[in-house]
């Protein structure tokens, strides 16, 4: 009997342990099920938290990239991306940057430096017109060592004393002689720029002044920014419409470039692999389009050029391996000029009502000029003006002269 009772007790103990194990298993299953239902919520919460932390960190980093130095009245963008709204929110100083109207008119009363690796956007997301203060004493620049994008906006100088655009009518340049003009804001892309400065579908006006050769305050000046695009803009009443030095791969197309104080377009000093295409260039204070001093692989095509003070298009001072084609040039002192330049092609252009048609000097050689139409040159001998020795050093063929009487020669 005792053995039976002992066996019964053991069985009861085993049964109790199994029930306990089963209960533990049930509890574990319940816990796992609950966690499975909670995990998506926790994942979403954790993801949102991480995103918020990252966003806050990025915002803080971006804000720390924008600083203002009152000593030289300059805003510096040292990293990341910025626009006028972010600059304004960071500085909180309307004496430096002020949004005048709700439709995106801003007044800037400082210079801006965009450092390497940083980008400034001036575009229609928050801007319709950026006015840069020009009181006749100080020229506030935008200096680009990083990247700049200007799109679908108006950017000009603004004189608070006259409540109008700033003028520099006293600026003058005649050969080596210069007269320093009234300071105005200017945009300069520095040689060390790490990105492009692209200007599209915008109006750029009343910038730059004569500050002496090499001063770099001509208006819109590219000394860096290879591969930049200038497209679809109205560029006017600058000192130079555009100047470049040593840059490559730029495209300048579909712009209206007019009433600038000196040159319209002036690629210079080693500028190369540039396309100047489908622009209208007129009423500038010197030559409309001039490439000078060791420029090469420049294509000037499909432009309408007229009423400039000196020449329409000029190849100058060792410009080589370049092309001018399919341009329409009229009402110029000289239509197209090749001076001290070599190995260029000039073809399929129409030149009319100018002092000369195509002018080639004695220091130019191995240029090919053909299939051009030259109309209404008062003195037919100036239609193809070949200075001493130019005819032996260059190739000309299949050009047509139409005189005032409509006769072809």
For 334-386, write each residue's pLDDT tens digit.
999 999 999 999 999 999 999 999 999 999 999 999 999 999 998 999 999 99
User: Over 50: is that where the pLDDT of 15 sits?
Assistant: no
Q: At what angle do helices 84-91 and 2-64 cross, to 10 degrees?
A: 100
Cα separation, 141 vs 123, in Å, equals 18
H/E stretch holding 156: strand 154-158
- Of residues 161 and 14, more confidence is placed in 161
What pLDDT, on a 0 to 100 scale, did the predictor assign at position 404?
74
Res. 21 pLDDT band, cuts 50 70 90: low
- Of residues 347 and 214, more confidence is placed in 347
Beta bridge partners of 156: 131, 205
What pLDDT, on a 0 to 100 scale, did the predictor assign at position 141?
98
What pLDDT, on a 0 to 100 scale, did the predictor assign at position 56?
41
Question: Region 214-224: what's the mean pLDDT?
Answer: 96
For 34-90, write each residue's pLDDT tens digit.
555 544 444 444 444 444 344 344 444 557 999 999 999 999 999 999 999 999 999
- Residue 154 CB neighbours (<10 A): 18
Question: Region 312-324: what's the mean pLDDT?
Answer: 98
Question: Region 249-271: what's the mean pLDDT?
Answer: 98
- Of residues 9 and 147, more confidence is placed in 147
What pLDDT, on a 0 to 100 scale, did the predictor assign at position 203?
99
Cα separation, 126 vs 147, in Å, equals 18
Domain topology for 69-402: Pectate Lyase C-like (2.160.20)
| Nearest CA among 328, 296, 294, 323 for reference residue 312 | 328
Cα separation, 321 vs 342, in Å, equals 7
H/E stretch holding 31: helix 2-64
Cα separation, 103 vs 377, in Å, equals 51
What pLDDT, on a 0 to 100 scale, did the predictor assign at position 26?
61
For 125-137, write each residue's pLDDT tens digit.
999 999 999 999 9
Give the residue extent of every domain in the chain. 1-64, 69-402
Question: Region 18-36: what's the mean pLDDT?
Answer: 58
Share of the chain above pLDDT 70, in %: 84
Do 181 and 170 contact (CB within 8 A), yes or no? yes
- Residue 364 CB neighbours (<10 A): 26
**Length of the chain counted residue by residue:** 409
What pLDDT, on a 0 to 100 scale, did the predictor assign at position 45?
40
Mapping DSSP to helix (H, G, I), strand (E, B) and coil, where does residue 93 land?
Answer: coil
Res. 107 pLDDT band, cuts 50 70 90: very high
Compute the mean pLDDT over every residue in the chain, rounded to the nearest whole number.
90
User: Over 90: is that where the pLDDT of 242 sits?
Assistant: yes
| Nearest CA among 109, 113, 155, 152 for reference residue 133 | 109
What pLDDT, on a 0 to 100 scale, did the predictor assign at position 53?
41
Q: What pTM was computed for the model?
A: 0.85
Maximum Cα–Cα distance across the chain: 146
């Amino acid at each position: 009997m005792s053995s039976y009772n002992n066996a019964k007790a053991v069985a009861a103990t085993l049964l109790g342990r199994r029930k306990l194990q089963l209960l533990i298993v049930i509890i574990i299953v319940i816990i796992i099920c609950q966690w499975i239902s909670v995990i998506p919520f926790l994942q979403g919460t954790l993801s949102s938290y991480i995103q918020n932390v990252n966003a806050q960190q990025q915002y803080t980093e971006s804000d720390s990239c924008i600083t203002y130095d009152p000593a030289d009245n300059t805003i510096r963008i040292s990293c990341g991306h910025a626009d006028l709204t972010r600059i304004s929110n960071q500085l909180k100083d309307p004496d430096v940057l002020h949004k005048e109207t709700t439709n995106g008119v801003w007044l800037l009363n400082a210079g801006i430096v965009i450092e390497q690796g940083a980008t400034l956007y001036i575009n229609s997301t928050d801007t319709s017109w950026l006015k840069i203060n020009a009181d006749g004493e100080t020229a506030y620049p935008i200096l680009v060592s990083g990247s700049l994008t200007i799109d679908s906006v108006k950017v000009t100088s603004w004189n608070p004393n006259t409540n109008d655009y700033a003028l520099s009518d006293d600026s003058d340049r005649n050969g080596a002689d210069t007269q320093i003009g009234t300071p105005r804001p200017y945009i300069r892309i520095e040689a060390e720029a790490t990105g492009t400065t692209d200007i599209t579908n915008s109006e750029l006006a009343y910038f730059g002044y004569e500050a002496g050769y090499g001063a770099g305050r001509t208006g819109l000046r590219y000394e860096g920014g290879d591969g930049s695009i200038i497209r679809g803009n109205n560029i006017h009443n600058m000192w130079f419409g555009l100047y470049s030095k040593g840059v490559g791969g730029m495209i300048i197309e579909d712009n209206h470039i007019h009433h600038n104080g000196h040159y319209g377009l002036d690629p210079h000093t080693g500028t190369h692999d540039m396309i100047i295409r489908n622009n209208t260039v007129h009423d500038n204070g010197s030559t409309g389009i001039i490439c000078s001093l060791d420029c090469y692989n420049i294509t000037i095509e499909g432009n309408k050029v007229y009423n400039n003070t000196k020449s329409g298009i000029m190849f100058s001072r060792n410009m080589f391996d370049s092309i001018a084609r399919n341009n329409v040039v009229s009402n110029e002192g000289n239509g197209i000029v090749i001076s001290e330049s070599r190995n260029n092609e000039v073809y399929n252009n129409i030149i009319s009502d100018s002092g000369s048609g195509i002018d080639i000097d004695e220091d130019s050689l191995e240029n090919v000029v053909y299939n051009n139409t030259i109309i209404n040159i008062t003195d037919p001998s100036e239609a193809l003006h070949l200075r001493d020795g130019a005819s032996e050093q260059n190739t000309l063929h299949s050009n047509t002269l139409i005189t005032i009487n409509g006769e072809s020669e």
